[in-house]
Amino acid sequence: MVQRFPLEDLYTFFAQRLNTRFPRMAAELKWLAPGMGVKRWIILLIVGTTIVGLGLAYILVNFYRELGFPDFAFYVTLQFIPRILRGFMFLAIGIGCIALAVVRLNQSLLAAVGGESQARLVDVVYRARQKERGAKIVALGGGTGLSTLLRGLKEYTSNITAIVTVADDGGSSGRIRRELGLPPPGDIRACIAALADSESLITQLFQYRFGEGEGLNGHSFGNLFIAAMANITGSFEQAVAESGRVLAVRGRILPSTLQDVMLSADFHTIKDTPPLRVHGESEIPKVRQPIARVYLRPLSSRFDPGSIRAYPEAVRAILEADVILTGPGSLYTSILPNLLVPGIAEALRAARAPKIYICNVATQLGETEGYSAADHMAALVDHVGTGVFDYMLVNDDLSHPLPVDWTISLIEPPAGPLPTCQVLRARVVEEGHPWRHDSYKLARAIVTLPIDRPNHNGH
């Protein structure tokens, strides 16, 4: 699914062979790789130098013809060598000077700007250009699952759009939501940190949570920063964009809706007992009963649930994407709150890109206890219907068992095909923490999947 071009493949073919015998030369030739945005300026430099040389040549010829020179000038100007040989000799010397200047400029710039990894400047530029040409990936979700995915994806492309749920009502986000009337910034803050260009001090500051202080205890600095930025810029979406610029985010983060919504849930209850309905995303996992259905409603009872609308930029990103990912994350409190926003599921059905649901690697207390991979997809279909997902990606590395006293379990791949989507398998679990995905394994699996949008009718 990574975009490739014939010229790029040809360059890679020769670069790999040159690197085995002349690694230093191969490294410098990366400046000539397709998409670096450097060759045009090198050509302009050569053309400009050539024009300057021609101008100097005209002036020297004029002096040579009109002024007399001592005899030693014959030897200094190499006139005893045929003109054609002199031309090639000066051409070789000029090319060598230009190449040496580029190499030394690379070293001088790197010494000036430093860098955490002290990588060669050409390698830094090469990786940045490759990511700029990467696939347009849209990822929907929330919580730690989405930030885990984004942390790996940014190593392959900068064209990432994260669409984040705004139904969170707990902790620092809930307090900001209630007191300032803003959408909850917590999940958005985590995505900004995950997509930041480096794990710098400013990123750690953005994730810092106050542990004491009246009014500050429990608040995240990033949440307060976004809230302050919203007041300065006049809008929440502009505040998110400006916060991303502060951390040099690779990609963009969008809310699924700008309206103030609440997530509610109905639970399965014992026969002849009244149905149990709970309001609030943070309250749902506390019930510890099987969830029958979740739904969104405006936080204010004055508005009809049908008034909820998707953020237009989020819909546009879905329709223009090359790949659309949903998950991993809490099925009922992170995934479905996005899909239940009117307009999001419809955009997914209309999108031409392959749409992949990333199933969790383990069940989750209070939400999906006892669920299989098929149960996850069945719950999605029950809430938003068919045609929303083409594929489901399931972890097939079950070699790292959970502790025996844990009440959650690993989710195994389905034994056979599913009626609503195709099943993809990959080893994406994090070693040492088999209940969650490995960011880089997951991203590598996604960008290397040889898939296209399937031609099916309801599968």
Q: Does residue 227 sit within a domain?
A: no
Are residues 302 and 365 both part of a single domain? Answer: yes
Answer yes or no: is 85 within a domain: yes
The verdict on residue 434 lying in a domain is yes
pLDDT tens for 14-23 read: 555 555 565 5
For 291, the 3-state DSSP assignment is strand
In a domain, 437, yes or no: yes
Instruction: Assess whether 19 and 33 both reside in one domain.
Output: yes
pLDDT at residue 458, as a whole number: 42
Q: Is residue 362 part of a domain?
A: yes
Residue 12 lies in a domain: yes
**Judgement on whether residues 121 and 147 belong to the same structural domain of the protein:** no
Predicted confidence (pLDDT) at residue 231 exceeds the cutoff of 70: yes
Q: Domain span at residue 309?
A: 134-165+256-447
Evaluate whether 384 touches 339 at the Cβ level (below 8 Å): yes
Q: Which two tokens stand for residue 227?
A: 């809230």
Task: Estimate to the nearest angstrom the gap between the alpha carbon of 70 and the chain centroid.
Answer: 69
Residue 32 corresponds to which tokens in the numbers above? 């000539």
In a shared domain, residues 15 and 104: yes
The pLDDT, as a whole number, for residue 65 is: 73
Return the sign of the alpha-carbon dihedral for residues 295, 298, 357, 435: negative
459 pLDDT band (50/70/90 cuts)?
Answer: very low
For residues 257 and 263, what is the distance between their CA atoms, to the nearest angstrom? 13
The answer on 70 and 150 residing in a single domain is: no
**What's the pLDDT at 383?**
96
Q: Do 323 and 423 lie in a common domain?
A: yes
Distance between CA atoms of residues 52 and 105, nearest Å: 21
| Helix (H), strand (E) counts: the chain | 17, 12
Q: Assign residue 307 the CATH number of its domain.
A: 3.40.50.10680
| Residue 246 lies inside a defined structural domain of this protein | no
Element at 135 (helix H, strand E): none
Quote the pLDDT of residue 451.
Answer: 73
pLDDT at 360: 97
The model's pTM is 0.76
Name beta bridge partners: 277: 266
Indicate whether 140 and 124 sit together in one domain: no
Q: Strand, coil or helix: what is 308?
A: coil
Nearest to 232 by CA among 220, 252, 249, 246: 246
Query: Are 103 and 15 found together in one domain?
Result: yes
Q: What is the mean pLDDT of the chain?
A: 83
Lowest mean pLDDT among 109-118, 269-278, 434-443: 109-118
Domain boundary (128, 148, 182) is at: 128
End-of-domain residue from the set 107, 128, 149: 128
pLDDT tens digits for 397-452? 999 888 888 889 999 999 889 999 999 999 999 988 999 999 999 999 999 887 76
Asked if residue 141 and residue 91 are part of one domain, the reply reads no
Q: Which of 73-87, 109-123, 196-210 has the lowest mean pLDDT?
A: 109-123
Domain count within the chain: 2
- Together in a domain, 69 and 146: no
Is residue 425 a part of any domain in this protein?
yes
Cis previous bond, 328, omega within 30: yes
310 and 328 housed in the same domain? yes
Residues 403 and 323 in one domain: yes
Q: Tokens 């949440």 appear where? A: 223
Choosing from 76, 111, 128, the residue where a domain stops is 128
Alpha helices in 22-134 (DSSP H): 23-28, 39-66, 72-76, 83-113, 121-132
